[in-house]
Amino acid sequence: MEQFNNRNVADNGYFMVDIEDYPTDGWGKFKRVIDRTFKLELFVGLWVVMREMIKFDIHTISYPAEKMPIGPRYRAVHEMKRLWESDAERCIGCGLCEKICISDCIRMDTKIDEESRKEVTEYTINLGRCIFCGYCAEVCPELAITHGGEYEQASEQREHFIDYDYMLTPIDVMKQNAQKEFEGFGAITPHEDERVTKTPLSY
């Protein structure tokens, strides 16, 4: 994950491409038209395709049999995480995701449960409206709602994606300690410990 923590793009093999400025005067534009007409650039492209075809150096993958790896910060369909300590759901029903959502697609119902705690009874995200901005994951104080890598949203019913149980980490995954933390929006940034001022405690 170190490569993602380092946000200085200049270190990651990026380089500037040398592109000439577009011509602005009439003569320059005329020269460009003549260039493009007689250089037969089209065949340059076609040649590249034919060369690669003959070499059998295939750059595409056979989706859906094959899938590209997704970056850990990719913002696809939301996930609801569980606590490592108790396997309980992390969501405390604070409603901040509902509040911050700019497409107003999150709704929840809460009530007081038998132990006088706040309980989330219903939680839905209308993915038909969601723009996957990631604000909900960023605002979540418990790292409960995050994005996941599940970008395939074709289904007969949109409701298939707004089901709380669908988003929640399955308990067997949790038992195997296989829950993946989200590294993108809302995740704890590196060196956080150094920036926090400790509160004095009498304990």
Which residues are at the interface with another protein (CB under 8 A)?
Answer: 92-96, 98-99, 107-112, 116-119, 122-124, 141-142, 197, 199-203
Nearer to another protein, 16 or 201 (CB): 201
CB of 142 to another protein, least distance (A): 7
At closest approach, how far in Å is the CB of 197 from another protein? 5
Min dist. Cβ of residue 116 to another protein (A): 7
Bridge partners (DSSP) of residue 168 are 80
CB of 111 to another protein, least distance (A): 6
Residue 2 or 165 with smaller CB distance to another protein: 165
Q: Which two tokens stand for residue 191?
A: 């060196």
Backbone phi, then psi, for 57, in 5-degree steps?
-95, 85
| Nearer to another protein among residue 31 and residue 118 (C-beta) | 118
Distances (CA, A) of 165 to 85, 106, 122, 153: 20, 15, 10, 16
Please, which residue, 123 or 149, has the CB nearer to another protein? 123
